Amino acid sequence: MNFFTDIRLRELGGCYRRDFVSWSFKDHRVNSLSLSTTAEFERCHNAPLLCLDVDPVENKYLLCASSSAEFSLFSLDSSIEDSNRIFYQPIEVIRRNDGIHHSTHKAPITCISWYPFDTGMVFTSSEDGLLKVWNTNTMSVCDEFKIKSPVHSHSMSQYNSTPCLLAAGSSNSRVYLFDLKTGGTTAILKGHSEAVFDLKWSPLNSSLLISSGGDESICMWDIRKYTKPLTRLITNKGKNPALRPSVCGCIFSEDGLLIAGITSSNKLQVWDAMLHTSVWSMKINKSILTYLRPLRMSISKRHSTQYLFVPAATEIRVVDFAFGSEFNRLNAHMDQVYCSSYLQDTQELLTCSKDCNILLWCSSKLEDKYQSSSESEDD
């Protein structure tokens, strides 16, 4: 059903969906995503880009971190427009041994994220065993947590409550919970037998946390009862135990009722978060990750169909979270894609890769419209 059919049904009284115009427009833009030919990000890191994040408050600022223990800050509102092209330059780059920033990480930054409630705070975790809290006004470290083993991921609770919890997963198979208000360790969760690669808080329950690890499983935790996991979601159940793919990424659906996991063998699997049963699974690529790193998926929100953006080798797969239908394949990166971040306000996608590039994906028809309007202005 397309946009004009929806309008016709509304006029005839056959469509009762309140937001059908908005949803249909958003779905159309996601289905027509392609590499932007007008937007380009300055290449400010000569090392693989492992993670990126757009601030959830304004959708205006982009953070990107590399394996050289450096990260950069871009403003998506300020760019240089020249010859029908948009060029984004970093407004701040934190480099190692630059003589200005003395509290930088000493090993690859594996995860970077914004404080969920304003743009005044940034979190970075690294293989040097440190989780740092940055003040974005001064771009300096205001606090840090020592874990003493490589940290692969962290996640901040989306609930502005007491305590204000920050979870971190490390290579020693443990999940650490830190209280930002007191600066102390609230709990240590022990349930995985291998390294923890990714973490996500439930949007439905402020006490529910999931973690994915190298032991082919996703653990669900109730942080009020952290002696053991509530349940374990196994990706390789019933098969050869010697072939143990690591679950490199996990994510909740918008309503918190589904959980998706992506393995090092590029198998995507979705479970019911309430029944703890598998809903569907699919092989999205034949390649296997040779060097294990977190793979970070993203989702669309406030759409009629919930889209899941999955890094799959050098491409990004766009699939239906609920049913597993594939809508699009985005190909442009030259090496392994590690992270994707969906811009909810503009229906655009940002991705970073081992090829050291940040790419912007937007609606192809919107690109054509922009180019034609620029040409008409020049005439």
For residue 108, whether the previous peptide bond is cis, meaning omega lies within 30 degrees of 0, is no
Q: Write out pLDDT tens, residues 318-354.
A: 999 999 999 999 999 999 999 999 998 888 999 999 9
100 exposed, middle or buried (CB, 10 Å; 0-12, 13-18, 19+)?
exposed
Position with higher pLDDT, 68 vs 289: 68
User: Would the pLDDT of 102 be above 90?
Assistant: no
Assigned token pair, 105: 């990480």
130-135 and 61-66 beta bridge pairing: unpaired
Give the confidence band of 174 by pLDDT, cuts at 50, 70, 90. very high
Q: Taking residues 349-375, report their average pLDDT.
A: 75
Exposure class string for 206-215: b at 16+ Cβ within 10 A, else e:
eebbbbbbbb
Residue 355 CA from chain centroid, whole number: 18
Residue 52 CA from chain centroid, whole number: 7
pLDDT attached to residue 287: 76
Q: Write out pLDDT tens, residues 28-66.
A: 888 889 999 889 999 999 999 999 999 998 889 999 999
User: Would the pLDDT of 67 be above 80?
Assistant: yes
What's the chain's length in residues?
379
pLDDT attached to residue 303: 78
SS3 323: coil
pLDDT attached to residue 302: 76
User: Would the pLDDT of 275 be above 50?
Assistant: yes
pLDDT attached to residue 242: 52
pTM of the model: 0.88
H or E segment to which residue 50 belongs: strand 49-54
pLDDT attached to residue 112: 97
User: Would the pLDDT of 4 be above 90?
Assistant: no
DSSP for residue 296: B
The percent of residues in the chain predicted with pLDDT above 90, rounded, is: 62
Tell me how far apart the alpha carbons of residues 349 and 357 are, in angstroms, rounded to a whole number.
14
pLDDT attached to residue 375: 46
Q: Are 167 and 113 in contact (CB under 8 A)?
A: no
Q: Write out pLDDT tens, residues 231-250.
A: 999 886 645 555 678 999 99
Assigned token pair, 161: 């409550």
* End-to-end Cα distance, the chain: 38
